[in-house]
């Protein structure tokens, strides 16, 4: 069932979302300062390629205050926009019965797109 959901997800916009995250990650990795943020974009790209069957867990050694600072910097520099984008699509997809499983995946990606530092994909 996860395979079918992931294939439909890719066809209905998941591939374009992942390509956007990869493009942003490449741009951020050009500078040394942006590399940690670029790696988080690559994590988001991997999560948006196949969200069905994917769990997001907090890493036990998340980095403490450095991770919190990086998450706050991520949030104000574009993370809030991506989170609102996932929230918008979750609300739109919830209006139909067929879109509810996809709305759940957008809510899962919303959690990761708001604060990606200290999270791991399982």
- pLDDT bin (cut points 50, 70, 90) of residue 66 is confident
Model-level pTM? 0.88
pLDDT at 62 over 70: no
pLDDT for position 27: 95
**DSSP letters for 34-95:** THHHHHHHHHHHHHHH--TT--EEE-TT--THHHHHHHHHHIIIIIHHHHHHHHHHHHHHHT
Buried b (16+ CB within 10 A) or exposed e, 77-93: eebeebbeebbebbeeb
Domain ranges of the chain: 2-121
pLDDT digits (tens, 9 = 90+) for 81-113: 999 989 998 999 899 888 999 999 999 999 899
């Amino acid at each position: 069932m996860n395979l079918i959901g992931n294939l439909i997800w890719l066809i209905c916009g998941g591939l374009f979302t992942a390509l956007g995250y990869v493009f942003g990650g490449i741009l951020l990795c050009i500078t040394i300062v942006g590399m940690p943020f670029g790696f988080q974009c690559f994590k988001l790209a991997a999560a948006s390629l196949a969200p069905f069957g994917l769990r997001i867990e907090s890493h036990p050694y998340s980095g403490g205050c450095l991770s919190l600072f990086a998450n706050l910097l991520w949030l104000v520099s574009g993370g809030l926009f991506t989170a609102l984008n996932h929230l918008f699509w979750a609300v739109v997809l919830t209006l139909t019965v067929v879109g509810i499983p996809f709305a759940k995946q957008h809510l899962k990606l919303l959690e990761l797109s708001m604060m990606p530092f200290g999270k791991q994909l399982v």
